Chains A and B, each alone.
Chain A
Amino acid sequence: MSATTTRAVPGRAKDHQVSRALGRRRHRTNRVIKGLCIAATVIGVLLLASILATLVWRGAAGLSLSVFTHITRPPGSDGGLLNAIAGTLIQTAIGTAIGTPIGLMVGTYLAEYGRTSALANAVRFVSDVLLSAPSILIGLFIYQLAVQPFGGFSGIAGCLALAVIVIPIVVRTTEDMLQLISPALREAAVALGAPRWKVIVLICYRAAKDGIVTGILLAVARIAGETAPLLFTSLGNSSATGTLDTPMASLPVAIYQYAGSAFDDWVQLAWVGALLITVGVLLINIIARFAIRGRS
């Protein structure tokens, strides 16, 4: 008995020492990694700040009334971006108008009708793939579908390409939001004798309204800044505005064409356009996020 204690005393002290050293090492590792994580987050936030600062710094200098009142003109003649801004508004509006009802119905099908059936699972899978599919391929697809057969680039082809991008975004949020609604709400309506479609349209849509609107806003923000699908569909246009059967200008495409040009005033216009589109897109995003927040 006494033998064990005499041997154990130095042992225990040593254990203590070892464990203290180990503990120090563990906590040091912890601190280092915590520091690295904070650094990573700071880098992430700084990147956003750098992009915004660059846009404001380069774009604000060229911001003037003529940007909004003049259409694009040859270099050196005080052109604006009126036709590009109008084109982006028109194409975004029509693209959203085409894509939203389809996406809404698909989301409704997934949440209310198909659920876990084989068809619904296939639709869900395909919609998720479309959500992240390269947008340039959607441009090529619409080129094959609506540009080549009709012999020319057109604003409406651009709208179609954007609509294809809208659909999966609206599907995702609509399905998620409809699934959040409690079954009791539906059952109460059904018990009153309401037909199913009325339950969905009058009860479920209304209950999920905020979430669905958020989805639509996010879709608008996404397509307003899309460039690649428009290169092969609406192409861009330096003069006419408003006609859907001819090539149509848009802000992102104008930015793309001007940013790579050799003329200083065109590059300046590209920065102004970039500032406008980014501020618009980020504002819509922030508004959409507040809508979600109000809900949850």
Chain B
Amino acid sequence: MSQTVALPTASLTARKASIGDPLFAGLARGSGILVLLLLGSLILSLFIGGLPAFRRFGPGFLVSADWDPVREVFGAAVSVYGTVVTSVIALILAVPLAFGIAFYLTELAPDWLRRPVGTAIELLAAVPSIIYGMWGFFIIVPIMSQYIEPPLIDLFDGVPVLEDLFAGPPFGTGIFTAAIVLAVMIVPFIAATMRDVFETVPPVFKESAYGVGCTTWEVMRSIVLPYTRVSVVGGIMLGLGRALGETMAVTFVIGNSDHINASVFSSGNTIASIVALEFPESAAGSLKLSALLALGFILFVISFIVLAISRMLLRPKLKA
């Protein structure tokens, strides 16, 4: 490309163009560098903001489960625990659902149905997260507290370990409800990624498997999944990355408590939800605000790692 542009002409327009070209190229390159600076300053600003809290509590900030604004003692453990547990449960619920949808859309659905159903799933991803919060709070929470949680608590009553995992009281809000709402939110992302990578499988592979008499499921299990394994994991990581940082929906339904409880029906909080809730009550320059920014920094590190892995796994297949 570059050789073709530098055409040897001496006219006035060519000289004007020779100013325009470096200017435009410089502008494009500068914008690229701006994006790098944006992420750099994002990390730096969170770290600097969190520095007073990191200094005050040291590495213990990560493992301390104390969150007491009155005594000015802050620890990240409760929120980190809530963030990880809700996201992992959400993944466990979302992955089979997303796989089923992607399988249906690529192999089973009749042609005329693929587009409308695919669009519906994509629209699910476009619904603002605050709407999921309201829907979760006004629709899912009552269902959970009346129909789902009491039978589960009764069912596992007396069974060791499970008894503690599914302990009451059934308020409806809590870690499990937050995970369900998160799962609904990340299903479209995972399903769309899976569908896209499933479609990268060369038809001839599938045709030869069908040719020797494989059923649709056998083709999926023995041809499509092995071929797209890495990208499928990448798509799941992308969903995990989304779930980790989700704020508004979780804030509505998680119940917001500063304690770790073994039961998945108990209230908790996540990094994003505690930041959203406690930020308005934190004065500028206070230690509490610094602790919240430090939490933000931790969330950034966790989601950065997850998103980086996801991208490394996904990029080669979808770009090729």
Residue ranges of A at the interface with B (Cβ–Cβ < 8 Å) = 26-27, 29-30, 33-34, 36-41, 43-45, 47-48, 50-51, 54-55, 58, 102, 105-106, 108-110, 112-114, 119-120, 122-123, 125-130, 132-138, 140-141, 144-145, 148, 164, 167-168, 171, 186-187, 190-191, 193, 195-198, 200-201, 221-222, 224-228, 231-232, 252, 255-256, 259-260, 270-271, 274, 277-278, 281-282, 285-286, 289
Given A102-B34, A252-B130: A140 touches B293 (CB 8 Å cut-off): yes
B245 pairs with A167, CB closer than 8 A: no
Partner of A255, one of B29, B41, B134: B134
B104 pairs with A227, CB closer than 8 A: no
Number of interface residues of B (CB under 8 A): 96
**Whole-angstrom distance from the CB of A237 to the nearest CB of chain B?**
14
B148 at the interface (CB under 8 A from A): no
Chain B, range 114-158, C-beta contacts under 8 Å to A? 117, 119-124, 126-135, 137-139
| CA gap between A134 and B275 in the complex, in Å | 12
Name the CB-closest residue of A to B4.
A190
B63 at the interface (CB under 8 A from A): no
Q: Please, could you name 17 A-B residue pairs with CB atoms under 8 Å apart, sorted by A?
A: A40-B99, A44-B121, A48-B120, A48-B121, A50-B139, A119-B33, A129-B39, A132-B303, A133-B245, A133-B303, A133-B307, A191-B4, A195-B21, A200-B24, A225-B127, A256-B130, A256-B248
| CA gap between A232 and B292 in the complex, in Å | 12
> A38 to chain B: which residues have CB within 8 Å?
100, 104, 108
> A222 to chain B: which residues have CB within 8 Å?
126
Name the CB-closest residue of B to A145.
B45
Total of A-B residue pairs, C-beta within 8 Å:
271
B12 at the interface (CB under 8 A from A): no
Top 10 A-B pairs, shortest CB-CB distance: A134-B245, A225-B128, A40-B100, A195-B17, A197-B24, A105-B31, A109-B28, A30-B215, A144-B45, A228-B247
B248 pairs with A112, CB closer than 8 A: no
| CA gap between A225 and B245 in the complex, in Å | 16
A51 pairs with B127, CB closer than 8 A: yes
B103 at the interface (CB under 8 A from A): yes
A134 pairs with B247, CB closer than 8 A: yes
**Whole-angstrom distance from the CB of A167 to the nearest CB of chain B?**
7
| CA gap between A135 and B137 in the complex, in Å | 21
| CA gap between A283 and B245 in the complex, in Å | 26
